[in-house]
A and B are shown apart, each in its own frame.
Chain A
Amino acid sequence: QQQVKQSPQSLIVQKGGISIINCAYENTAFDYFPWYQQFPGKGPALLIAIRPDVSEKKEGRFTISFNKSAKQFSLHIMDSQPGDSATYFCAASIFGNEKLTFGTGTRLTIIP
């Protein structure tokens, strides 16, 4: 049973556009929701994370939107750039027990 569901599997966005990746979780005990960015040949790297006490967190061009009642969270990349082309993973954990439960990943391609 997959506890974190991620969509879409792949996404193509034009340069300058907005990239949106969605995740839904089942375990209401989760209270830490990070997004990881992975480039080919590298390991996942933390991009941005949110706790459920806020509905939105923004860092530069990257924003997480969080809907606790719907058990959903999403990553928005504004003004998408070719350098943003990577695989993005959402994840969830219980703070204090950092075992991460990941989504299946989204391969994002930004075209000129």
Chain B
Amino acid sequence: EAGVTQFPSHSVIEKGQTVTLRCDPISGHDNLYWYRRVMGKEIKFLLHFVKESKQDESGMPNNRFLAERTGGTYSTLKVQPAELEDSGVYFCASLTRGGDNEQFFGPGTRLTVL
């Protein structure tokens, strides 16, 4: 079974540009989460999808961030325009209800804004 995949693995952009990150969850996982780790700090929750609906977006930093999950499959996270403080590693995780409700994380996208 394929795990959670994320694209790209690295992205370097200049301040003011736009970047779109993609996450493909494990097939059949209705729940999809986005998290971010800024250098040396904790991994912080950004938002949670259940299928195509945003269940909780309380962690989104501001309106420069837009997340979508069309059709309840893959998700995208767009940052427009990017600022220096947006640099960090963006993780996606997926989960299916039942059992221990374990979240499976992708390898992350390292975003550097210059």
Contact = CB atoms under 8 A, between A and B. Distances in A.
A84 to B, nearest CB: 19
Contact of A105 (B33, B42, B102): B42
Contact of A89 (B40, B43, B102): B43
Contacts, number: 56
- Name the residue among B42, B44, B101, B105 with the largest chain A CB count within 10 angstroms: B42
A45 interface: yes
A46 interface: yes
Q: Is the interface of A mostly helix, strand, loop or mixed?
A: strand
Interface residues of A, number: 24
Interface in A70-112: 89, 91, 95, 97-105
Given A43-B91, A43-B106, A99 B42 contact: no
Nearest to B107: A43
Nearest to A97: B56
A101 B105 contact: no
Interface in B35-64: 35, 40-45, 48, 56, 59
B4 interface: yes
Interface of A: 2, 4, 6, 32, 36, 41-46, 49, 89, 91, 95, 97-105
17 contacts: A2-B42, A36-B105, A41-B107, A43-B108, A46-B100, A46-B102, A89-B43, A91-B43, A97-B56, A98-B31, A99-B56, A100-B33, A100-B45, A102-B35, A102-B42, A102-B43, A104-B41
